[in-house]
Amino acid sequence: MTDIVFIEDLAIETVIGIYDWERKIRQKVVFNIQMAGDIKKAAETDTIDHTLDYKAVSKRIISFVEQSEFHLVETMAERAAEIIQQEFSVSWLRIKLSKPGAVTGSKAVGVIIERSY
C-alpha cells in the first residue's frame, strides 16, 4: 500500500521561457505534486515528525523556483523532482508543472513527470 502526500496548485513567479521578452519578466508557473509516503506512523503518533512535511517541501520548491531562470518547464520539473527526492527521501513522485497563458486559447501548457527512485 502506498500513501500519497500532495501539494495542489502551488503558484510561483519566476523567469521561464525561451524568448528574449520572457527572459525580462517574471511569469507564473503552477506545481501539482504527488509524493509517496507512509503516513501510518504519523497517524498513530499524531506528530509531524513521522510524515512527509508538505509545508517544508512547498517552501523549498518556492525558494528554488523563485531563484531559477530556466528556459524550459521540462528542466524546471526535473530539477524540482531531484530536490524533493534528495532532500525529502521520496521514493516516488509525480509533478505536473503548468505555465498558464503560454499558448493563446489554452488555460495552461506544461509537463507531467513521474519518477521512481
Segments making up each domain of the chain, as ranges: 4-116
What pLDDT was estimated at residue 1?
A: 57
Strand partners, 35: 5, 93
To the query of whether residue 99 is one of the catalytic residues in this protein, the response is yes
pTM: 0.94
Q: Taking the domain 4-116, which CATH number applies? A: 3.30.1130.10
pLDDT tens for each residue of the chain, 117 residues long: 589 999 999 999 999 999 999 999 999 999 999 999 889 999 999 999 999 999 999 999 999 999 999 999 999 999 999 999 999 999 999 999 999 989 999 999 999 999 998
Contact status, residue 67 vs residue 13, Cβ threshold 8 Å: no
What pLDDT was estimated at residue 45?
A: 94
Q: Which of 28, 41, 99, 107 is catalytic?
A: 99
Query: Minimal CA–CA distance to 6: which of 68, 51, 44?
Result: 51
